[in-house]
Structure 1
């Protein structure tokens, strides 16, 4: 056998190289995506089943108004009066969900102004607070109308008979005090137990709220009438 000259200065042992295993068809391959290595599945991932959204699901273009138990019958009796302006004039969809007991209002392709959705919701809420349909319709026909709600205890903490007497002062004999405040301030007022709802413009609501607060604090109705007349005369002069 011939002698082989080996340079001992430049001798480096060769690293053992592993023989690559034969790639089988059913073995997952390694792929890299955006710097992240992972196993490539031989079959494409299952696409998630898209759930079709129902009418009652929460969306940006839907409003849900909860209906109190004592307003079911009035809502049923006046449903046509509520349904007609919302569908015909505002071009919205409306229904009463029997399971959740909510009035649901939704936009559709025919809806021209997305602001109509909030108008319709305010209209339905006003009716559920206790206002007549004809009074609540003012929210749809006139601008700058609001509904303000507060309780007697927000003005003064009253309990038992004291609270009952305060409610009596607000209503008056045969509702005369409430009607007087409504006519002078050009608002509509609903007395629902200890809660008070006022429908009107911002300035008129402030006048009515001041008169109601004075009655709750114990002022006699005659004094409140005088204050209302003087304020109403000043407002009419400004107009």
Structure 2
């Protein structure tokens, strides 16, 4: 059984008696002082105490990407293709929160650049919009790629009744021929999701593809639209 030692001092003592009784308290206070960092000396060389490789003051950043209901199953099938480049190449931690149905991303202590977190979030977000993995993987490697979304009824023209599905049909063409032709000529990737259009590519290429899509929505013949190529400066 361990015993606890107390330093008793007679507060009514006088002179040297009080000084002698106070000595144990000084020893007790000296033991409470924090220990100094240990130093090891070997053959004339001094080595400081080892510290942890991971500092305690690392500032972690987070991103969350919502998962639409129609992209939940594709996400499960392509999870390994999404997880591998983000975790091993970008050094960003990623997990799926099934409760909130969101993909959560977090920087690690060895993340080389904070911009890797935003690139990874853009990569996951582009997949949720409907782009394929081989197309959106370029977002992690090329800085000049963006994703732009267009709402047909708000950004282009207010269409009602049968005019809206007809406009959407003109955008795709028979068997998707018109959409593929615009993608190949402008070096972009296009996803048509109901009344929204998502375009992936460089800034100038997105503008060219957007103008072609606007012309189709406004009623221009497909044969005069999708052959338009970006003007060379």
Q: Would the aligned equivalents of 2:145 and 2:200 in 1 still touch at CA under 8 Å?
A: yes
Q: Which residue of 2 aligns with 1:116?
A: 116
Gapped runs of 5+ residues in structure 1? 1-58
Q: Where does residue 74 of structure 2 map in the other structure?
A: 74
- Report matched runs for 1:1-239 at 5 Å: 61-153=61-153, 154-226=155-227, 228=228, 231-232=229-230, 234-235=231-232, 238=233
Pairwise CA distance, 1:225: 3.1
- Distance (Å, rounded) in 2 between the aligned partners of 1:188 and 1:221: 18
Q: Quickly say closer, same or farther: Cα 1:225–1:92, change in 2 above 3 A.
A: closer
SS in 1 for 2:226: helix
Change (3 A) 1:162 1:60: farther
Corresponding residue for residue 15 of structure 1 = none
Distance 1:60 1:110, change over 3 A: closer
Q: CA deviation at 1:160?
A: 2.7
Please give the alpha-carbon distance, in whole angstroms, between the structure 2 residues aligned to 1:197 and 1:160: 23
Q: CA deviation at 1:186?
A: 0.1
- Taking only aligned residues, the RMSD between alpha carbons, in angstroms, comes to 1.2
CA contact (8 A) 2:67 2:128 kept: yes
- Take 1:225 and 1:83, find their aligned partners in 2: how far apart are those partners? 36
Structure 2: which 5+ runs fail to align? 1-58
The runs of at least 4 aligned residues of structure 1 exceeding 6 Å deviation read none
Deviation per CA, 1:109-139: give whole Å up to 9, x if none: 1111000000000000000000001100010
SS in 2 for 1:225: coil
- 1:65-95 Cα deviation digits (max 9, x unpaired): 0100000000000000000000000001000
Q: Which residue of 2 aligns with 1:51?
A: none
Report how far residue 223 of structure 1 moved.
Answer: 1.4
